[in-house]
Amino acid sequence: MPRRDPHETLIPERDKDKTPAIECIGLGIDFGGLTAVDDFNFTLGRTEIAGLIGPNGAGKTTVFNLLTKVYQPTRGRMLLEGRDTKNMTTAQANRAGIARTFQNIRLFKELTVLDNVLIGLHNEIHVNLAQAILRLPSYWRCERVARERAMDLLSIFDMTGVADKKAGSLPYGAQRRLEIVRALATNPTLLLLDEPAAGMNPSETSELMENIRKIRDMFQISILLIEHDMNLVMGICEGIAVLNYGRIIAKGTPEEIKSDPDVIEAYLGKKGH
Amino acid sequence: MIKQARDIPTPVKYLINLALFIIFLVVVNSMIASKTISGYYTKVIMLIGINIILAVSLNLATGYLGQLPLGHAGFMAVGAYSSAIFMKAASALPMFIALPLGLMIGGTVAGIFGFIIGIPALRLRGDYLAIITLGFGEIIRVILLNIDSVLGFNLTYGAASLKNIPKTTTFLGTFICVFIVCYVIHTMMKSRHGRAILSIRENEIAAESCGIKTTYYKTMAFVMSAFFAGVAGSLYAGYLGILNPSNFGFMKSIEILVMVVLGGMGSMIGSVISATVLTALPELLRAFADYRMVAYSLLLIAVMIFKPSGLMGTYDFSLSRLLGKGLSRLPARNASPARKGDDR
Ligand SMILES: Nc1ncnc2c1ncn2[C@@H]1O[C@H](COP(=O)(O)OP(=O)(O)OP(=O)(O)O)[C@@H](O)[C@H]1O
Ligand SMILES: [Mg+2]
């Protein structure tokens, strides 16, 4: 099978004529002397589901932190729907369309499931402080609409029944699903999922796969996911990028990646060693 | 789960709460007027009101926002002095204008200080914020002591005390302020603004990634907290009639913090109850007053060991919720599986 150039883009046919959801050009970051990510070139179609894989410590989460502006890149540029994201804060990046989940779950644990989603809807609720304190009709209307929207979003994962439970009291898998719902609530164009299936059993994982596809179809957004579960990655990703020591070592369709000698070596180590 | 259908409609709940509060005001006020409650107890009750405002406003910054400021008495001092100086100068104004204006001035000046301190302090975390605000409180006290010699005229009268402040603080005035402060904080906390503040306490990075401008909301909560401390300070000035910088030392800040921690961080009703108890107890048991700080420390240690979340945890109490529970025992007509909303 012919090898692809690691800098080539893999946008699916249907997204070719639209501005990419995100375009990274030579993105890189150093932590002191350590180059965690380097020369990261990556383009994502508007309705594409793509995967970012690689061994532990390869720099996958760091890429997410760069995309969401938790870290500012040392080099390179990043275009979000064609707009340069230089000097954006994390909150601004979110409002510009990037939402994410976290590898080590970061829910608002002491708050209810519903409140977690309502916080995701923060910028969708247009009530100012005076309206809220005076409890004007606009406050009640916006709150009611937001609650209905939150319940709709929770229903994607059949979670309306636990809306009043503390987020921290949910089982692990449900917490991961809630993080996805909260991210969706911010009305993103690009959803980043950091190991969404971690800690899930096989049946939960296959259900998650279905739901990720469903979300893409419902919301018409692009999804980039980091995952160690190869069944999931190979099952739903249209394009995959493999990261090792902070660099992309291969890009391709699931079939191409499975048989790529560099990838096999990165995962299994050099033969004979 | 509470059944929405059997709940009392929200506007009615608000009216019930308001009515109960007015009844409380009228009853206590007429008891004071008829001397059923002695002048001494009236003073204790007013002090309770002032301390409730202090505790509830500090709870906004500690319990809800999750920061640990140690300079709340500093904001109180700023409010007290600025309102006292205004009230002394404004003796020609009719009381119904001067009094609210004095409270607003005290609150606003404290709020401005909150903004100036908050911008740098809120960039720091945990212990650093505590140290910066602690330093601020002490600086304010020292400035109040010495500013006259710098200015060259008498403004605060330093250690000699600012005297002859009009004693405008009444039971009614104090508890109307208590009501307004509690109402404003309560309604804000049940809106998107309040949820943003809570999300910062829970997980700042996640809050940012949900598109919340964390610096903005941190500053907002901090300024509001300082503003209400300034209002409490203004009431305090009109209550004592005389101000001395030593009223606003570090120990005062700690006293307020103890009220919040004891009541349960993030529980408004907890702050109200513990402010009430911790103000009333030392006053009622005079012999005990000397050992107040010892008792505070022991109490705090005991709470930390046996109930680290404070007496009320994060529970928020509501009279109308109790009434709603009473009603829910009645046969249901239309029990739709609605969820628990924000205002029960
Ligand atoms: N804030 C930071 N400061 C210093 N080094 C960092 C920082 N963040 C990440 N690194 C380093 O960058 C490298 C990549 O880490 P990263 O978390 O991105 O890996 P990963 O691919 O997500 O791994 P895993 O599969 O274990 O989650 C690691 O060597 C890590 O120690
Ligand atoms: Mg990672």
Which ligand 1 atom sits closest to the C-alpha of A228?
A: 25
- Shortest Cα–Cα distance, A224 to chain B (Å): 16
Q: Measured between alpha carbons, how far is B104 from A216 in angstroms, rounded to an integer? A: 52
Ligand nearest to the CA of A56: 1
pLDDT at B81: 96
With both helix axes pointing from N to C terminus, report the angle between B72-89 and B250-263 in degrees, rounded to the nearest 10. Answer: 120
3-state helix, strand, coil in chain A (%, to 5): 40, 20, 35
pLDDT in tens, B75-85: 999 999 999 99
CB contact under 8 A, B211 and A186: yes
Would you place residue B324 in the very low, low, confident or very high pLDDT band (cuts 50, 70, 90)?
low
pLDDT in tens, B85-97: 999 999 888 888 9
φ, ψ dihedrals at A117, nearest 5° = -70, -40
Would you place residue A18 in the very low, low, confident or very high pLDDT band (cuts 50, 70, 90)?
confident
DSSP of A206-266: HHHHHHHHHHHHHHT-EEEEE-S-HHHHHHH-SEEEEEETTEEEEEE-HHHHHT-HHHHHH
CB A30 within 8 A of CB A59: no
Residue B8's alpha-carbon distances to B188, B262, B320, B325, in angstroms, are 21, 32, 8, 10
Mean pLDDT of A56-78: 95
Residue nearest atom 1 of ligand 1, based on CA coordinates: A31
Residue A61 at interface with chain B, using a CB cutoff of 8 Å: no
Among B175, B137, B141, which residue's Cα sits nearest to residue B32?
A: B175
In terms of Cβ atoms closer than 10 Å to its own Cβ (0-12, 13-18, 19+), residue B25 is middle
* Statement: residue B342 has pLDDT above 50: no
**DSSP H or E segment with residue B325:** helix B319-328
pLDDT at A270: 56
pLDDT in tens, B253-284: 999 998 998 888 888 999 999 999 889 887 77
Burial B44-59 (b: 16+ CB within 10 A, else e): ebbbbbbbbbbbbbbb
In terms of Cβ atoms closer than 10 Å to its own Cβ (0-12, 13-18, 19+), residue A239 is buried
The residue count for chain A: 273
> Which of B191, B203, B211 lies closest to A106 in CB terms?
B203
What tokens appear for B339 in the block?
């969820």
pLDDT in tens, B35-63: 888 888 999 999 999 999 999 999 999 99
Q: Measured between alpha carbons, how far is B191 from A129 in angstroms, rounded to an integer? A: 8
* Statement: residue B337 has pLDDT above 60: no
pLDDT at A7: 53
What tokens appear for B17 in the block?
């709460």
Interior angle at CA B263, CA B258 and CA B266, nearest 5: 105
Residue A72 at interface with chain B, using a CB cutoff of 8 Å: no
3-state helix, strand, coil in chain B (%, to 5): 75, 0, 25
> Which of A111, A114, A147 lies closest to B202 in CB terms?
A111
B195, amino acid identity: R
Ligand nearest to the CA of A35: 1
* Statement: residue B338 has pLDDT above 90: no
Residue A70 at interface with chain B, using a CB cutoff of 8 Å: yes
CB contact under 8 A, A132 and B203: no
Half-sphere exposure of B7 (CA within 13 A, CB side): 22
Residue B325 at interface with chain A, using a CB cutoff of 8 Å: no
DSSP of B85-146: HHHHHTTTS-HHHHHHHHHHHHHHHHHHHHHHHHHHHTTS-HHHHHHHHHHHHHHHHHHHHH
CB A247 within 8 A of CB A39: yes
CB B104 within 8 A of CB B236: no
Of all residues in chain A, what percent carry a pLDDT higher than 70? Answer: 95
pLDDT at A111: 96
Which ligand 1 atom sits closest to the C-alpha of A195?
A: 27
Mean pLDDT of A114-139: 95
- What is the CA(A244)–ligand 2 centre distance, in A? 12
Would you place residue A112 in the very low, low, confident or very high pLDDT band (cuts 50, 70, 90)?
very high
Residue partners of A155: CB distance under 8 A and separation at least 6: none
Q: Measured between alpha carbons, how far is A31 from A28 in angstroms, rounded to an integer? A: 10
Q: Measured between alpha carbons, how far is B302 from B34 in angstroms, rounded to an integer? A: 41
Please measure the distance between the N-terminal and C-terminal CA atoms of chain A and give it in whole angstroms.
Answer: 26
Residue A165's alpha-carbon distances to A148, A171, A176, B63, in angstroms, are 17, 11, 15, 20
pLDDT at B121: 85
pLDDT at B334: 39
**Cα nearest neighbour of B220 on chain A:** A129
Q: Measured between alpha carbons, how far is A184 from A174 in angstroms, rounded to an integer? A: 15
CB contact under 8 A, A129 and B203: no
* Statement: residue A37 has pLDDT above 50: yes
Q: Domains, chain B, ranges and CATH?
A: 10-322 (1.10.3470)
**DSSP H or E segment with residue B335:** none
* Statement: residue A265 has pLDDT above 90: no
- What is the CA(A104)–ligand 1 centre distance, in A? 13
Residue partners of A83: CB distance under 8 A and separation at least 6: A96
CB contact under 8 A, B205 and A90: yes
The residue count for chain B: 344
A177, amino acid identity: R
Ligand nearest to the CA of A57: 1
Residue nearest atom 30 of ligand 1, based on CA coordinates: A57
With both helix axes pointing from N to C terminus, report the angle between B268-284 and B292-306 in degrees, rounded to the nearest 10. Answer: 140
Q: Measured between alpha carbons, how far is B182 from B198 in angstroms, rounded to an integer? A: 17
pLDDT in tens, B184-233: 999 999 999 999 999 999 999 999 999 999 999 999 999 999 999 999 99
CB A210 within 8 A of CB A36: no
CB contact under 8 A, A122 and B196: yes
Among B314, B6, B14, which residue's Cα sits nearest to residue A112?
A: B314
CB contact under 8 A, B184 and A108: no
pLDDT in tens, B5-46: 456 677 788 888 889 999 999 999 999 989 888 888 999 999
* Statement: residue B168 has pLDDT above 50: yes
**Sign of torsion over alpha carbons A261, A265, A270, A272:** negative
**Cα nearest neighbour of B11 on chain A:** A135
Using a CB-CB cut-off of 8 Å, the residues of chain A touching B187 are: 132-135
Mean pLDDT of A206-215: 95
In terms of Cβ atoms closer than 10 Å to its own Cβ (0-12, 13-18, 19+), residue B133 is buried
Mean pLDDT of chain B: 86
> Is the reported ipTM for this assembly greater than 0.85?
yes
Would you place residue B326 in the very low, low, confident or very high pLDDT band (cuts 50, 70, 90)?
low
* Statement: residue B1 has pLDDT above 70: no
In terms of Cβ atoms closer than 10 Å to its own Cβ (0-12, 13-18, 19+), residue A220 is exposed
Q: Measured between alpha carbons, how far is B140 from B162 in angstroms, rounded to an integer? A: 15
pLDDT at B104: 97
Interior angle at CA B157, CA B151 and CA B163, nearest 5: 145
